A and B are shown apart, each in its own frame.
Chain A
């Protein structure tokens, strides 16, 4: 066998080995780190969170539900619970699992860490919506209470996470959401989305793909066992009831009702046409949103489409005197009312 072939084969082998070892998520080393992360502390913290959520929603946590939520066997779950009881985190009574005050505090800390981290991921990083939950699920265990406080201060003490869940305060106060699932909302009343459930991920991915976000104005049009038809910020959406049930809505406050529903997007304008900004979509967050506003894209601003790039995107717009190029995904976030008069 010629030497170069051997060299190439050896290299190929090394690459395959490195791939097996370091492949994200499924490589041997990431897996090893994963099992280490799933230490007993993490299990007990996740169990606390599960029990707390059950209590909030009025369900009764059980050994089976904990085993299901943590992906462990019921035997392991029973062992975990008795361990946690010994550490004074919970009390096992007949058929009931109750959190002690220490346990409750810890559960709230974890929830706070999770939601703040999601807020951070949404506002300050480029990760997609679908990644927030899993990343926060891992990172919540790594944050100490001091770090969580610092994070909260850094973010300007936000009250809600990007899904619309309230973030517990330092003192453990948790605002309860006054919301109902979209499936049981009244027909034809002005509503707005206050919360979108991010689990299970397959359903959440559908909601993200529809472009639905907390803060959007919606109106339920039709409800049948097969489908839910509704308007959200001017677009028609059709969802299966099981998916739509993950959207929580509440009636739109009176003072916002006067706002007209938008009639188009900035991206729809052709060169020479102009329109008046109605709103920036809630899907546009963090730095990106602030930058747009600093550039003068605000409700009431008149924007004229000037020229299109020869490569198709971006498009240059005249915004308050300056010509600024925006990419299509940005101009899609800007809702406008189009002007009818022809300005050729």
Chain B
């Protein structure tokens, strides 16, 4: 594909300051046929929407605010002759509480089964952001960590060792400055590698559980493994059951969890929630 052709296909690109990556062509919200689904998770205010825009060219407003994206935004891009659908999840601190945002994000990663989950991380506040990363890694073993805001980390005078981090987390870690479009090509490559199984992740799993909890978890996880042998996250499911998460219990009862292992994408129509404010 020549540069001219790309320009012809995407005339709106003249006005946008983003990506010059040759293989990348934005598709707007044209979602007819795609090869891979990528979920974008992250804490509020980590530049997640900026990463989304840099990848898709969609102009979703990006405020310096926690909690901007309430409903799900979707976009798409081409890379290496494959078409990727990118889904921007609500920015959350965690996936454990029962707020609607977190439920949407959690359900999408668990039931939407994205080929890759990209977690955008603020390099200046790594510890807090890893809280979410570790939770995502409990649910899925196909993830890429986008270590964003590297310029700010530098400005604040500290270095983040992305290789060390990648080794500890067991997934690719790509340092970026999404605002200035730095590192986006490497991020794309990492996404592509995980999506096409060229990179096999070996994600970190939480270690320091309380002793009596640990024992119960492994017992139940073993049972889950027996029923759903292909499930990548039996231990996490066991933890959720012990926490009394009725959504997960229901998924087990209905065999929905079994469907996830078959590889068929489930019906996603139920994932679009209206914002519900009333209590029971």
Contact = CB atoms under 8 A, between A and B. Distances in A.
Q: Do chains A and B touch in the complex (CB under 8 A)?
A: yes
Interface of A: 120, 124-125, 151, 153-158, 287, 290-291, 294-296, 319-322
A52 B230 CA distance: 50
Contact of B93 (A153, A156, A157, A295): A295
B243 A156 contact: yes
21 contacts: A120-B280, A125-B279, A153-B246, A154-B280, A155-B244, A156-B244, A157-B244, A158-B244, A287-B97, A287-B99, A290-B97, A294-B93, A294-B97, A294-B131, A295-B93, A296-B127, A296-B131, A320-B125, A321-B125, A321-B127, A322-B125
A157 B279 CA distance: 18
A290 B96 contact: yes
A290 B124 CA distance: 24
Contacts of A296: 127-128, 131
B246 A156 contact: yes
A156 B128 contact: no
Contact of A154 (B96, B127, B246): B246
B265 to A, nearest CB: 27
Contacts of A287: 97-99
Q: How large is the interface on B (under 10, 10 to 19, 20 to 34, 35 or more residues)?
A: 10 to 19
Contacts of B124: 321
Interface of B: 93-94, 96-99, 124-128, 131, 243-246, 249, 279-280
A287 B94 CA distance: 13
B97 A291 contact: yes
A314 to B, nearest CB: 15
Contacts of A158: 244
Contacts of A157: 244
**Chain B contact residues: over half helix, strand or loop, or mixed?**
loop
A162 to B, nearest CB: 16
Given A124-B280, A154-B280, A290-B96, A320 B128 contact: yes
Contacts of A156: 243-246
B222 to A, nearest CB: 22
Contacts of B127: 296, 320-321
A296 B134 CA distance: 14
A161 B92 CA distance: 29
Contacts of A294: 93-94, 96-97, 131
> Which 3 A-B pairs have CB atoms at the shortest separation, nearest pair first?
A156-B244, A321-B125, A294-B94
A236 B127 CA distance: 37
A295 B126 CA distance: 13
B238 to A, nearest CB: 15
B114 to A, nearest CB: 22
Contact of A153 (B96, B98, B249): B249
A319 to B, nearest CB: 8
B128 A322 contact: yes
A296 B132 CA distance: 11
A254 to B, nearest CB: 14
A124 B246 CA distance: 16
B37 to A, nearest CB: 26
Nearest to A117: B280
Given A290-B98, A321-B125, A321-B127, 18 more contacts: A120-B280, A124-B279, A125-B279, A153-B246, A156-B243, A287-B98, A287-B99, A290-B96, A291-B97, A295-B93, A295-B128, A296-B127, A296-B128, A296-B131, A320-B127, A320-B128, A321-B126, A322-B125
A298 to B, nearest CB: 10
Nearest to B129: A321
Chain B CB count within 10 A is highest, among A157, A287, A321, for A321
